[in-house]
Amino acid sequence: MNDGAGHLPTATAEAERHARRTRLLKIGGTLASAALFGLSLGVLYLVVHELDAAEVSAAFARAQGRQIGLAILFTALSYVMLTGYDWVALREVTDIKVRYRTAALASFTSYAVSFTLGFPLLTAATVRYWIYSSVGLGASAIASLTLIAGITFWLGMGVVLGIVMIAAPVASATFTRLPLPMNMLIGLAVCAAVGFYLFVVKRGNRRIAVQGWQLRLPGIGVTLKQMALGAADVCAGAAVLYVLLPADAHVPFATMLAAYVFACLLGIASHAPGGIGVFEATMLLALPGVPKEALLGALLVYRLCYYLLPFMLALILLGTREIMIRAGMLKRQLESKPQDHAADA
């Protein structure tokens, strides 16, 4: 009797603490989402404000309609691959049935915002929390989802970079300025790292702890799907810039692919929003055979197609979603009022 009574207050206190933490997480998530949305609007204003209208006009004038159309098509393909990151990972982190359109919205908006703002682990996780928490996913599941999606991205990068440097060392040497054997060794090292990860996933303990969160890595089947999605995404992203190069550039796609991966990696390491500045400088060094003016114009159109347009669309989608949620809440409140009055009567 005494033991049971003694445990009751402890269990109640623990439940209260858990409820308090849940409320704080929801409040924190809402505040972070609102702050992120405001920051996004501010960055959008700065990006648009700093664009030189004459330079933009000249860049588009140099780019043919067919090139811009292909760039938008490859951009769409890349973001479709990105939605697959979440769709595949969701089956690993939760038993809750999440519709593809919800996963696609969360994935597209989180990447479109994080690509532009930088700090992807923070910004992407915030957008995902904003959307997935409304369908019942907890903070731990969303954190696992963000980690798995990040791993997918890095696996895709590693696979593409390793294969290109092994299979096309001459193309890689165009921008690495290293001997062919060294390029092949780097490629082998990258592929070995990917192979080691696959070995760990297949044989080792897939549970890891990150800042107190217990996260589970995906199994080998899901990991192989991740690698395919990641590689397809990277190739589509590189193709966006490739089709915008002048027709007389004569740059092999393998060279563009390897240079693109390196530029992305350096841009991510810089933590600059969208890797801006770092990405452009890397591409200018990696493709010395392309006239700088033409390459800068292609890079500008690339940023408009791959970063700015998806970013604007993501803000519209997030804003529309929030308005619809608020409108639905208001409608339910208005519908419940006559029933309340009737009950009072």
Task: Report the alpha-carbon distance of residue 171 to residue 242 in Å, rounded.
Answer: 14
CA 229-231-232 angle, 5° bins: 65
pLDDT at residue 55 above 70?
no
pLDDT at residue 148 above 90?
no
- 335 burial via Cβ count (<10 Å: 0-12, 13-18, 19+): exposed
- The residue ranking higher by pLDDT, 16 or 340, is 16
Task: Report the alpha-carbon distance of residue 56 to residue 51 in Å, rounded.
Answer: 7
3-state secondary structure of 4: helix
Q: What is the residue-wise DSSP string for 265-329?
A: HHHHHHT-GGGTTHHHHHHHHH-TTS-HHHHHHHHHHHHIIIIIHHHHHHHHHHHHHHHHHHHHH
DSSP secondary structure letter of residue 133: G
Tell me, what's the pLDDT at 72? 95
pLDDT at residue 9 above 60?
no
pLDDT at residue 1 above 50?
no
3-state helix, strand, coil in the chain (%, to 5): 85, 0, 15
pLDDT at residue 268 above 50?
yes
Q: Would you state the structure tokens that stand for residue 337, as one six-digit string?
A: 């009022």
Cα radius of gyration rounded to whole Å, the chain = 24
Q: Which of 260, 225, 288 is nearest to 91 (CA)?
A: 225
pLDDT at residue 236 above 70?
yes
Task: Report the alpha-carbon distance of residue 73 to residue 217 in Å, rounded.
Answer: 32
Q: pLDDT tier at 104 (50, 70, 90 boundaries)?
A: very high
For the stretch 76-103, pLDDT in tens is 999 999 998 888 888 877 778 888 999 9
Residue 60, CA atoms < 13 Å, CB-side half-sphere: 9
> Do 243 and 98 meet the contact criterion of CB atoms below 8 Å apart?
no
What b/e sequence results for 165-190 when a residue is b if at least 16 CB atoms lie within 10 Å of its CB, and e otherwise?
bbebbebbbbbbeeeeeebbebbeeb
